Structure formats: C-alpha cells, structure tokens
Amino acid sequence: MSHYLAIDAGTGSVRAALFSADGVFRGAGSRPWEHDPEPGVPGSMGFATERNWGLVVECVREVLESTGVDAASIRGVAASAMREGLVVLDAEGREIWACANVDSRAGAEVVELQGVQTPDGPLLDEVYRRSGQTFALAAQPRLLWLARHRPELYERAATVLMLSEWVAYRLSGERFMEPSNGSTSGMLSLATRDADPFLASACGLREDLLPAVAEPGTRIGSVHGEAAEATGLAEGTVVALGGGDAQLAALGLAQTEPGQVLLTAGTFWQLNVNVGAPLTDPDMAVRVNAAAVAGLYQAEAIAFHPGTAVRWFRDTFAAEELAAARAAGRDPLDVLTEAAEAVPIGSDGVIPIFSDVMSYRRWTHAAPSFLNLSLEAGPRLRAAMFRSLLENAAIVSDANLALVGRFAPVAADAPVVFAGGAANSAVWTQITADVLGRTLRVPAVTEATAQGTAACAAAAAGDFSSPGEAAQAWVRWDREVEPDPHRHEQYVPVKERWATAYAAQRELMLSGVTTPMWSAPGA
C-alpha cells in the first residue's frame, strides 16, 4: 500500500505523521524544538536550525520504525508549520539566521513602522490592505531588526523561507514559498498570492528576499541523497509544498469552499471563515490569510486562552472537585462540567473576561477577571464560575464571527465545523451551538493539520487532482449538534451584558489601570 508523510513544524515541537493511501493515520513521531534566546536581546527566540533538523530526522526515523512501513511505499512528503517563523539562507543555501513565531525582539521596529505616514495615509493601512497583515507578527520588523543589529548577516541574506518551506528545502534542496504560510509574513499580495515588492521596499528592505511562489500541493523536487541517508526516506521521493498549520487544518477537514466556517477549540479558539476573494476588513479588526486552496482566503479571528483558563481554574480553584475525581477515578474536568451543566444560562450572573474579541489593529487583551461574584453563593459559585468560562469562549467566538460578517457575510444557516479538544465535551459543544445559533459539525478526524499536509503530498505525487480532492475523499464526521432555539434566545441578553462589561474592562487596560493578559509587539 502507498503512504504519505506529513511533517509538522509546530510552535513547540516537530512531528512526523504517516498516512495510508486512503487517508488513515498510521503513526507519528515527535520531538520538542530547541530554541536559542540570544544573550542581551530581550524577547528573542532563535530557531536552532541544525539541531532542529536533527530532530526532524529523528521523528521521520521514529515513525518509519514504529509503523514498519517500507520507505519505498511513501509516495510523497510535505510539511506544515507554525505561521510567522522564519529561516534566512545565504546564496550558497546556508542557514544564517532563524527565529520562531514567538520571537518578539523587534518591538521597536514594529512601533516605528506603525508610525510611518505616506502621502496616502498610514503605511500600516496600506500594508494591511495589500497583505491582510499588520506588523505585529509579520516578517518586516524582524528583518529590519536583522539589518540594523546584524548587518553582516543581512548583507549575506539571499532567501527568506517560512519553516514549512525550510523543511521542504532541507529534503529537496529547492527554495520555494507558498501563499498560505507565506501570507503570514506580510510580504505577499493577497490579490496575486505572490511577492509584492512594495511590502518590502516601503519598510526599508530589499525586494529580492523571497523565492518563487507556488501553491500548496505543488511538486518542487524530490528527496536528495543526503536527506535520504539522514531520514531513511527513499531517494527520489516526491517533495511537495505544504503550508501554514491553521490553513492546512482547514484543508484536512475539507473546508475548501467560500462561506465555510471552522472553529478550532483548543488552548486558543481560532475562527477561520473561507472567503472567495482577497477582501480585508475596513476596520482592521480581523486578520486575512491566503488559504491552502488556490483562489481561496481565510478571515481569521483568535480568542486567546479559553483552554488555558479552564485548566487554570481546575488547578487553582477546584480542589474539592479534584479530590472527588481522584476518588472516583474520573477526569476532574468531567466533574466540573457536570456541576456547570446544572447552572442556568448566564452562569448565575457571573461575567468572565478571559478572552478578547479580535482587534488586529491594536492587538492587546484586557486583564483576565471574573465580575459579579456573589459572596453568598456557596459551593455553587465554583460551578457558575466554571460554566462562565465555557460560555465566555463561545460568546467571544460569536463576536468574532460577527466581525467577519461585516465584510464577508456568512450565510445564516451555514454550519460551523467544531474541532479541537473542546469538541470532546458534549456540554461545551452544546453551549457553543446554542450561543452561535448554528449547527456544529464535529469531525472524526483528529489529525486535521497532518491530514491536510498529507493531502498536499498525495496531490503532488499525482494520486489526486488537487489537495482538496484528497481531503474530500479522506474526511470523516463524528456527529452534528443542533442549537436549541429557546436557549439561543436566552443567550442574547447574556451576550449583550458580556459585551458591555468587556468594553469597560478593555478601557481599564488601555488606560493602564489593569495589566493586559497579552499584547502583541508594538501594541
């Protein structure tokens, strides 16, 4: 049987996952990345290319050994990656500088570029209109930092790659960029899905730093002898372009048409809405990326830390529930969720501020807080507080969907694909369906990003006409959850109350009274 290999260069780790010809997950190997903060450079998070390539090699060898799959049966390999991570090559192809997406050393450059005025208005507005990105996470500020603080490296710089493309380069020796991850660099035009020289020159950078651009699923070469010897892959195996992890997750769940909505609910809750044209938000509230499907785009809004807040509450406030769960041999979150289910809609008036509505122009979050706590509530207060966290995630996601709807309307009856850890909770899933007032489709697929990456490899190998065709053939669904119309109506005043409180809390943060939960560089 034929197989496809997906390599995911994630934020915290690298993973190699193997799929059979019918899209069935066979096994994986993973390793944590090694990062190198630069001494004396606050916020730096250098990416150790040589050591980390060794980890990629280990992962590939591990999955081949654990599955017993003959490397000769692997028809193609592709890579996905965290967005925004960069590798800079010199003319000879040597990695001379690299950083992870969490690298925030260029805060001063972000502020500087945000303040640039052009005859037509702020440079930031034009960059966003052209690219769908702001400077907070884009490549320009970090490359400008490199030019100013490491000029000897910048002078040698010949090619900038995203991390997924770096993996493909290591395997094949070929330098390409693809638009899904490449768009998060802020240096590609949304309209053309290709390099936009203005987005470099306007920021004081050279225009020749990006390689040729090709779509995800394009065959760019094959595994060369050195890479084959290192990884155990067969020399000549097809190497395909993959893409950004979020975009490939949408592909892996067969979200390949305009108007489709994906809500990935894990540590962060990420909303992606497929848009059939390179539109941007007039208010710059929402990020817009190229999708992993040619001619398709994704409006993206992220709610920070809903999953983190749930785990924090469990570990900080739920000693009684933890003890009960241990005694019964149960998951403490199940015990907390059962208690929360008995609390009515609106969580007894408790208002949580633990995730923010997307605000891309000034991406900073209000201080985390609980409002409206009752000193007379007794033990039920913990259940109400926990339920409020579940409702908070859904309410913020609903508000983010409304933001997208201002410039890219979504059909009122469009279902939402609901994926990630929260989809395992029947209570949380139902709350989300009721808040959104939309049907939730829960996938059986648990390896969405890797499956989307494998679909790119399958298309490049010639086994499907496109990655989208492969994804459609492989996707499987677990269940659909319908909203309750009565409960949806009950949530209307709850959402209004939350929005009023949220606005006030954000003002307190912006005025310096409270401390933001998180702020992007330059915010």
**pLDDT tens across 453-466, in order?**
999 999 999 999 99
State yes or no: pLDDT of 265 exceeds 90: yes
CA distance 116 to 267: 35
Of 306, 270, 301, 308, whose CA–CA distance to 283 is shortest?
301
CB 238 within 8 A of CB 76: yes
Q: What is the pLDDT of residue 378?
A: 78
| Per-residue pLDDT tens digits for 60-99 | 999 999 999 999 999 999 999 999 999 999 999 999 999 9
| Per-residue pLDDT tens digits for 294-341 | 999 999 999 999 999 999 999 999 998 889 889 999 999 999 999 999
Assigned token pair, 403: 């933001």
CATH topology of domain 3-243: Nucleotidyltransferase; domain 5 (3.30.420)
Q: Please compute the mean of the pLDDT values over residues 362-370 and round it to a whole number.
A: 94
User: Does the fold of domain 248-304+404-481 match that of domain 3-243?
Assistant: yes
Angle at 291 between CA 107 and CA 434, to 5 degrees: 90
CA distance 77 to 45: 28
Type of residue numbered 226? E
Q: What is the pLDDT of residue 11?
A: 85
Assigned token pair, 24: 């069935």
Residue recorded with tokens 């659909």: 480
Q: Please compute the mean of the pLDDT values over residues 504-521 and round it to a whole number.
A: 94
Q: What is the pLDDT of residue 379?
A: 78
Q: Please compute the mean of the pLDDT values over residues 195-214 and round it to a whole number.
A: 97
Assigned token pair, 432: 């989300």
**Residue 465 buriedness (CB in 10 A; 0-12 / 13-18 / 19+):** exposed
Q: Where are the domains of the chain?
A: 3-243, 248-304+404-481, 309-399+485-510
| Per-residue pLDDT tens digits for 389-436 | 999 999 999 999 999 999 998 999 999 999 999 999 999 999 999 999
Q: What is the pLDDT of residue 34?
A: 87
- Residue 457 in 3-state DSSP? helix
Q: Which of 9-13, 227-231, 430-434 has the lowest mean pLDDT?
A: 9-13
| pLDDT confidence tier of residue 35, bands split at 50, 70 and 90 | confident
The number of residues in the chain equals 523
| pLDDT confidence tier of residue 522, bands split at 50, 70 and 90 | confident
State yes or no: pLDDT of 377 exceeds 80: no
CA distance 452 to 6: 9
Residue 447: count other Cβ atoms within 10 Å of its Cβ. 19
CA distance 425 to 334: 8
Average pLDDT in the chain: 96
CA distance 179 to 251: 14
**What is the value of pTM for the model shown?**
0.95
Q: What is the pLDDT of residue 375?
A: 84
| Per-residue pLDDT tens digits for 88-142 | 999 999 999 999 998 999 999 999 999 999 999 999 999 999 999 999 999 999 9
Residue 476, CA distances (Å) to 252, 254, 408, 468 in order: 10, 9, 28, 14
CATH topology of domain 248-304+404-481: Nucleotidyltransferase; domain 5 (3.30.420)
Q: Please compute the mean of the pLDDT values over residues 257-261 and round it to a whole number.
A: 97
CA distance 448 to 197: 34
